[in-house]
Amino acid sequence: MAMSDTEMMLRGYGLTTAEIFYRMPDYRSVLNSYIWQDYDIAPDHPRLFKFIEFWQDKIEGPLHSVRFTHRKEISPGEWRNCVGELRLH
């Protein structure tokens, strides 16, 4: 069963964004870029490395470089369930 985005964030996943630079198959001197984004776990980044392995095995454009960033949107200590509401006036 797939987890919702909130469940993933509460389990320690953060948003990972990678900019992948690769060479065009027919024109090796031309660099192109591709943006990849998914929820992943730092510092191992298993989903990012799985995608890079897929790229190297299945896509013809050889990789030049990969630049990525990771940000935790929420952590278990920051989230709390509010049950009531207090109104003034």
Q: Which residue range forms the structural domain that includes residue 32?
A: 5-71
pLDDT bracket for residue 88 (50, 70, 90): confident
Q: Please tell me the total count of domains within the chain.
A: 1
Q: Is 13 helix (H, G, I), strand (E, B) or coil?
A: coil
Question: Domain for residue 87, yes or no?
Answer: no
List, for residues 66-78, the tens digit of each pLDDT value. Answer: 999 998 876 555 6
- Note whether residue 38 is domain-resident: yes
- Flag whether 89 is in a domain: no
25 within domain boundaries: yes
| 52: Cβ contacts below 8 Å, ≥ 6 apart | 20, 63, 66
Residue 83 resides in a domain:
no
Q: Is residue 76 part of a domain?
A: no
Question: Is residue 14 assigned to a domain?
Answer: yes
Q: Does residue 56 fall inside a structural domain?
A: yes
User: What's the pTM?
Assistant: 0.75
